[in-house]
Amino acid sequence: MSASPGTVPACPDFRQPAALLAHMRQTLAFYEPRARDAQGGFFHFFKDDGTVYDRRTRHLVSSTRFVFNQALAWRWFDEPAADVAHALHFVQQAHAQPQGGYAWQLDWDGSHASVQDGTNHCYGLAFVLLAHAHATEAGVPGALAGVAATFDLMEQRFWEPAHGLYADEATADWQVGSYRGQNANMHACEAMLAAHAATGEARYLARALVLAESVTQRLAAQADGLVWEHYRADWTPDWDYNRDDKTNIFRPWGFQTGHLTEWAKLLLQLERRLGDAAPAWLLRTARHLFSVAMARGWDPVHGGLVYGFAPGGSVCDCDKYFWVQAESLAAAAWLAVRTGDDAYWRWYDRLWAYAWTHFVDHEHGAWFRILAPDNSKLTDEKSPAGKTDYHTMGACQDVLAALGVKPPQR
Active-site residue list: 259, 391
Strand ranges in 101-210 using DSSP code E only, listed in sequence order: 105-108, 113-117, 120-121, 159-160, 165-166, 169-170, 180-181
Dihedral sign, Cα of residue 91, residue 128, residue 177, residue 181: positive
**Are the beta carbons of 378 and 370 closer than 8 angstroms?**
yes
What's the CA gap between 184 and 31, in Å, rounded?
26
47-55: long-range pairs with CB below 8 Å, 24+: 47/380, 47/381, 47/382, 48/361, 48/364, 48/368, 48/380, 48/381, 48/382, 49/364, 50/364, 50/365, 50/382, 53/381
The span from the CA of 232 to the CA of 260, in Å, is: 21
DSSP secondary structure code for residue 49 in this structure: T
The Cβ-side half-sphere exposure at 249, using a 13 Å CA radius, reads 12
Name every residue whose Cβ is closer than 8 Å to that of residue 68 and which is 6 or more positions away in sequence.
Answer: 130, 131, 134, 388, 390, 394
For 19, 281, 326, the CA distances from 216, given in Å and listed in that order, are 33, 10, 21
